[in-house]
Amino acid sequence: MADDVSQSAAPPQAYYDEIKAKFAEARDLRLGYRPHGTAQYTSDFTGALAKYASDPHAEPAPERAPIADEVEVLFIGGGFSALLTAARLRERGVESIRIVERGADVGGTWYWNRYPGAACDVPSYDYLPLLDEMGYVPSRLYAKGPEIYAHCQAIAKRYDLYELAVFRTTVTRTAWDRAAKLWVLETDRGDKMRAKFVICANGTLSKPKLSKIAGMESFAGYSFHTSRWDYAYTGRELENLADKVVGIIGTGASAVQAIPRLGKAAKQLYVFQRTPSGIDIRGDRPTDPEWAARLEPGWQQARRMKHIRGRPEDLARAAELAKISREEKIRRQENANIDHMMRIHQRIDEIVQDPETANALKPWYMFMCKRPCFDDDYLPTYNLPNVKLVDTKGKGITEIGPEGPLFEGKSYPLDLLIYATGFEVQKTGIYNEIRGRDGREINEVYADGIRTLFGVHTHGFPNLFIMGGYQASFQFNLTFMLQTQGDHIAECIKLARERGAAEIDVKPETEAWWVQEVIAHRGKTSRNADCTPGYYNFEGEFNRRQDGNYNGGFFQYYTHMHEIRDDLASHFLFG
Ligand code: NDP
């Protein structure tokens, strides 16, 4: 939320109401163009679309014999979730740990997303996991992709996670063997691995998606998705683009980081925009070595906790807000959010020279309807003579011919077309069919609504832990949420080991409590319905109240988790 909710020297309410009416108009325009919600996208990369899933960072996988062994803990996915949880398991003496990963190395998001300009958008000192444990201080406020990827590899080395890891392998089926009390995992390489504990660590945004655009298969030029950047085509420094006409579809967080670099390198760049992102100041800077040298052990956790507990002035303000009515609270927060968005508009006017382009870049929606972006080079890019914004005003590109995208009867011939169209969001069982104790698939179990404890445990799926799924508290610094889940999972596994239990399964009544907790905190405002469509509100689709994230706030999520942990044994069944 934007910060200042005090009412001193505020413009009249009519000013805010007028802007809110414009937000509603922009949302309706966009929804009118997009009746299909999430169905407008596809992640089925087969046939002509198969090339969009292939890995440009590694040679084709060499043949290997199928694996049919048993480990104690198996991670599906080798990104941050697996790495930070595995570290906690090692601290608790777990030796047999395997990562099974689709990519050719660990790193997850940071393995796949190597587009130019990739960097974290949350200060590195909060975002990169295990900094204390690794004795590492990132080189800058916003570490760049290669540094984060190297940190992932360093964690895997430090905790011996390469030893049993299996790369270029996708888990396709995970089924509970009742007799053996083990999970049996099948993969696309013919494996049949067994594991006592399975942790779904496949990430929140791991499967790229493409907008379903008529004729996209007919495009005769070169094309790829941002998460599969092909440096063999562009050149390591994008030097091969000097004589190329490049187009990029989408202006979300990935595109906002890539576009400034493309603008500098390409002969001509067309940006095909459907909805603009809100671009805030980044203010990146190198780490002050004197500050780094003064950091005390435990500094990262202390820093993260300080953020979630809130600053003293935030607490004082919250206490003041508690005294006013709910409607008034919402009104003040909305007005503060509008002030923030108008500051974003003002910056565009100050930076972008062409007034038509500047207007087209202005986001007309409430702060946090879409993921805020931060890049100091993005807006100036539109002042370059070789960069052209093609604003589709909410309609999007709906047709692509052999030469390139078409919009309003005009064709845009391109050498290279880049899809910055995002990812499937928080799908449990991505690429994978998960069958529990009674043989039912997890998404069948969720058919009447998602049921979990903390988004991590579902009754009937013993020894299975889900990270980054729904019913958890999604927060801007995702890695802190993942670390909280990872610490909890490691404690659960430790407890099961200590008790000599073959199974640990959440009690139905504890799960029911959490589902009610999730429902109680959803639908407090009409915010989701008021927002312009995007992945934060399921592209404007209706959603059952429990089929989303826990909205009670991360501090509350964290606190609940610790309360349950204080008496872990009474919330689980052991077999
Ligand atoms: P997004 O889903 O945020 O963006 C997809 C973009 O494609 C949107 O601008 C969308 O427009 C546009 N689009 C889709 N279809 C069409 C079409 N037919 N014509 C024109 N435009 C179209 O994906 P990103 O990869 O940018 O980001 C996903 C998430 O990944 C981020 O929100 C963030 O959480 C994470 N991320 C984090 C980064 C970091 O921390 N540094 C960097 C990059 C990503 P519309 O808005 O209208 O739907």
Tell me the C-alpha distance between 212 and 42, whole Å. Answer: 6
> Residue 34: its pLDDT value, please?
66
* pLDDT bucket at 268, cuts 50 / 70 / 90: very high
Residue identifier of the C-alpha nearest atom 3 of ligand 1: 252
Q: Are 194 and 69 in contact (CB under 8 A)?
A: yes
Q: 37, 209 in Cβ contact below 8 A? A: no
Separation between Cα atoms, residue 128 and residue 137, nearest integer Å: 9
Cα distances from 92 to residues 183, 399, 442, 489, in angstroms, run 22, 55, 29, 11
State what percent of residues in the chain have pLDDT above 90. Answer: 83
Closest to 386 measured CA to CA, from 272, 276, 270, 247: 270
Give 33-39's long-range contacts (Cβ < 8 A, gap of 24+).
Answer: 33/394, 33/395, 33/396, 34/396, 34/533, 34/539, 34/540, 37/533, 37/538, 37/539, 37/540, 37/541, 38/538, 38/539, 38/541
Q: Residue 289: is its pLDDT beyond 90?
A: yes
**What's the CA-to-centroid distance between 216 and ligand 1, angstroms?**
18
Rounded mean pLDDT, 78-85: 98
Residues whose CB is less than 8 angstroms from the CB of residue 230 and which lie 6 or more positions away in sequence, other chains included: 56, 222, 224
> Which atom number of ligand 1 is nearest to the Cα of residue 41?
15
The percent of residues above 70 in pLDDT, for the chain, comes to 97
- Average pLDDT over the chain, rounded to an integer: 93
What average pLDDT does this structure show over 259-281? 97
For the cut 60, the answer to whether the pLDDT of residue 5 exceeds it is no
CA of 298 to the centre of ligand 1 (A): 35
- 420 alpha carbon – ligand 1 mean position (Å): 6
Q: Specify the amino acid at residue 562.
A: H
Confidence band of 182 (pLDDT split at 50, 70, 90): very high
The predicted-structure confidence for 142-160, as pLDDT tens digits, reads as follows: 999 999 999 999 999 999 9
pLDDT (mean) for 327-345: 93
pLDDT range class, residue 525, cuts 50, 70, 90: low
Residue among 290, 272, 543, 269 at smallest CA distance from 395:
272
What is the predicted pLDDT for the residue at 411? 98
Atom 20 of ligand 1 has which residue's CA nearest to it? 396
Question: What is the Å distance from ligand 1's center to 407 Cα?
Answer: 20
Q: pLDDT band for position 7 (50/70/90)? A: low
Q: Is the pLDDT of residue 478 over 90?
A: yes
Q: Quick one: pLDDT at residue 319?
A: 75
Which residue's alpha carbon is nearest to atom 45 within ligand 1?
A: 275
463: left (phi over 0), alpha (psi -120 to 50) or beta: left
Evaluate if residue 238 carries a pLDDT over 60. yes
Residue 258's SS3 state is helix
- Enumerate residues 6+ apart whose C-beta is below 8 A from 163: none
CA–centroid distance, 412 to ligand 1, in Å, is: 21
Atom 17, ligand 1: residue with shortest CA distance: 396
pLDDT band at residue 538 under the 50/70/90 scheme:
confident
Better pLDDT: 327 or 107: 107
Quote the pLDDT of residue 36. 72
**pLDDT greater than 80 at residue 315:** no
Write out residues with Cβ below 6 Å of ligand 1.
119-121, 205, 211, 213, 226, 249-255, 257, 272, 274-275, 371, 392, 396-397, 420-423, 534-535
Kindly tell me if the per-residue pLDDT of 392 is higher than 80: yes
389 beta partners: 271
Q: What is the mean pLDDT of residues 30-50?
A: 86
- What is the rounded average pLDDT of the residues 159-165? 98
d(CA 251, CA 270): 12
* Residues 422-458 pLDDT 10s: 999 888 888 999 999 999 999 999 998 999 999 999 9
pLDDT for 539 equals 80
Residue 389 banded pLDDT, cuts 50, 70, 90? very high
In the prediction, which pLDDT does 190 show? 98
Does the structure show a pLDDT above 70 at 4? no
The pTM of this model reads 0.95
The alpha carbon of 370 and the centre of ligand 1 are apart by a number of angstroms equal to 9
List phi, psi (to 5°) of 184: -115, 125
- Residue nearest (by alpha carbon) to ligand 1 atom 28: 422
More reliable by pLDDT, 24 or 307: 24
Which of 7-21, 213-227, 368-382, 493-507 is predicted with the least confidence, judged by mean pLDDT?
7-21
